[in-house]
Structure 1
């Protein structure tokens, strides 16, 4: 199962590609993954596109969720405001993952916390989502944060 498709002219004027000039594919609807941690413990992962035309799916996808990772494209920081607002308003624990590329992080987590007005209890981490170890670290941070939130 693949959720990537070749971009067509249908996205012209809709998707902002100004920071991703070489991009030729896009996610169709959403990404899905499954990680079996133990025989009776399975982690289901749903990745939603950030464009507002897909927001209708979010309420259904978060039903039963333990938390969310807001993956922030540091080249387009303002694009994550709606996702941060959504999860703050829903009360669902979330972490903010600043997705740098090739080790380049243009903003420090403290700068992003201030710019997005994120409370001190919400973890902000740096990551490169293309790297397995970074993705694993983001998920571990989320699970730890969600467990702590349930204990409060």
Structure 2
């Protein structure tokens, strides 16, 4: 039997670890569209907390991860800056759900508000992944959930975008959450 192909979007603010996550979990060499940050982008891109960042995604990241014999995930990482958000509608089209990455450091926490709003507004199931790749989090889970105004129905996981197993667990959680929201044949869709 042919495995089921599932499209997943990896989103979040600028510098939250989307490219790193796709690269760490993909079983194929990931496609990336990273370019050097330029002097022209300095007044536009908020580098607070990510001052050493030298590259940025300008279109998408792409990777593939087999979950089991029945499910293969195709990962589409979004660009993080506002000026590239016109691509998000195309990247999200047909997606089962999204993993929204959040950088929990105080100067970066607000960088993922827009991504959360995007998936909320379109009723696309999502899981919030708190990326612990800096190894520090000044907040408890309930504080992050409150700051992001997440309802209790939104799954929340801690992960390290560099760690394949950590990311795999988050993707499984997202897949379970999204599949649980699908309507049963013959029943009206949940609102």
Q: Same fold (TM over 0.5)?
A: yes
1:130 matches 2:191: no
1:23 and 1:79 map into 2 onto residues whose CA distance is 15
Aligned residue for 1:22?
Answer: 52
- 2:75 alignment partner, one of 45, 59, 62: 45
Deviation string for 1:119-151 (max 9, x for gaps)? 111101111111111111111110011111115
Query: How many residues are treated as equivalent by the alignment?
Result: 152
**Could you say which residue in structure 2 is the equivalent of 1:150?**
182
More helix by share: 1
> Comparing 28-37 with 106-115, which one deviates more in the overlay?
28-37
Instruction: For residue 7 of structure 1, report the CA deviation from its aligned partner.
Output: 2.5
The partner residue of 1:89 within 121, 130, 144 is: 121
Q: Is the 8 A contact 1:105 1:126 kept in 2?
A: no
Structure 1: gaps of 5 or more residues: none
Provide the residue aligned with 1:34 in structure 2: 64
**SS of structure 2 residue aligned to 1:117:** coil
RMSD value, Cα: 1.9
Which structure 2 segments of 5+ residues have no match? 1-30, 184-189
1:112 CA displacement: 1.4
Provide the residue aligned with 2:35 in structure 1: 5
TM-score normalised per structure 1: 0.89
